[in-house]
Every structure is written in C-alpha cells, then in structure tokens.
C-alpha cells in the first residue's frame, strides 16, 4: 500500500477513533508534573457528558477557603470504574488526588477520589494517557 494512503488512513483513524476513546487526552489540559491533593467538601456536582465535574471547597493552611473544580471522565467511564451517580453528594467530605490544570486555574484532573465511605475510585478515562492510566498499566 502506498505510504501516502497509509498515512491518510492513520490520520483518518485518529480523527474518528480519538473522540470515542476519550473526549480529550489528559495532557490536553493537565500537567502530569503537578500532582495535588485536595481535601474538601463537595459543593456542586455536574454529572454530565463529556466530562463529569464536581466542585469542592478546600480550606488552605492559611485558613483561606478556595473553590476547586475537579474533572473526571464521562458518566459511562465512571460507571465502569465503580462510581454510581449518587456516589458523591453535596456536603460530602472527599480527598482528591489529581493533577493541576496547565493554565494554573483552580481545576484539577481527579485521578483518584476517596469517597466518604472510604472507597477509592479512579476518576480518569482509561486510555487518556494520564498518570496511572489503566490502559497504560496493561503494558501498552
């Protein structure tokens, strides 16, 4: 097969399959070298495609209140990883281990979320290429 046709097929394949695997990759928005741990109280939950967001109120060491947005995969991805739609409720105290947004805003990719019942659930989308990506752990 001529190489130009092969590369065209590759690019087309990327365009078509990309959106189905993940809305966007981890590195499109987040910095894998900036891990962060947030402990806070859930104030708002957006159970929505293409990404679920929840917002937590975090008290800093200086006693200041900060509002952090936490991004995860979409509903389908979360359900497959053991989340339920009511796993998080407004008022719940959670610990989020994630990575900061590249733009420095108070937004984090929630890789691992410790729910009020002590369960630790994965918040990324398998295949998003971020730290600890289950698809990568398989030796990909």
Partner 1 sequence: MFFNLCQWLFDSELGTSIRESTFVFPLIETTHVLAIALLVGTVAILDLRLWGVVLKGERVTTVARQLLPLTWAGFSVVFSSGLLLFIAEAAKLYANPAFRLKLLFLILVGLNPLVFHFTVYRDVDHWDAAVVTPPRARLAGGLSLALWAGIIVAGRAIAYYH
By the criterion CB under 8 A, which residues form the site for partner 1?
Answer: 15-16, 18-20, 23-24, 28-29, 47-50, 74-76, 79
How far, in Å, CA of 130 to CA of 132, rounded? 6
What 3-state class would DSSP assign to 2? coil
Closest CB 19 distance from partner 1, rounded Å: 6
As measured in angstroms, the least distance from the Cβ of 95 to partner 1 is: 25
Query: Is the distance from CB of 128 to CB of 26 less than 8 angstroms?
Result: yes
What residues are paired with 45 via a beta bridge? 54
Minimum distance between the CB of residue 118 and partner 1, rounded to whole angstroms?
25
Q: Residue 31 or residue 95: which is nearer to partner 1 going by CB?
A: 31
Q: Of 76 and 82, which CB lies nearer to partner 1 in the complex structure?
A: 76
CB of 76 to partner 1, least distance (A): 5
Rounded to whole angstroms, the Cα distance separating 99 from 93 reads 19
Q: Please, which residue, 75 or 116, has the CB nearer to partner 1? A: 75
How far apart are the C-alpha atoms of 18 and 121, rounded to whole Å? 24
Q: Which is nearer to partner 1, 52 or 113 (CB)?
A: 52
Of 53 and 112, which has the nearer Cβ to partner 1? Answer: 53
CB of 12 to partner 1, least distance (A): 9
Alpha helices for 1-140 (secondary structure H): 3-21, 26-29, 75-80, 134-137
Closest-CA residue to 93 (of 46, 53, 51, 59): 59
């Amino acid at each position: 097969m001529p190489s130009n046709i092969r590369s065209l097929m590759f690019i087309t394949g990327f365009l078509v399959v990309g959106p189905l695997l993940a809305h966007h990759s981890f590195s499109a928005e987040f910095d894998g070298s900036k891990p962060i741990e947030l402990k806070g109280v859930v104030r708002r939950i957006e159970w929505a495609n293409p990404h679920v967001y929840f917002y937590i109120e975090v008290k800093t060491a200086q006693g200041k209140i900060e509002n952090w947005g936490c991004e995860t995969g979409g509903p389908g991805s979360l359900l497959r990883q053991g989340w339920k739609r009511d796993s998080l409720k407004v008022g719940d105290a959670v610990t989020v281990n994630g990575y900061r947004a590249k733009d420095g805003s108070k937004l984090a990719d929630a890789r691992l979320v410790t729910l009020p019942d002590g369960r630790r659930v994965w918040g990324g989308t398998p295949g998003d290429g971020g730290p600890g990506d289950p698809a990568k752990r398989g030796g990909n």
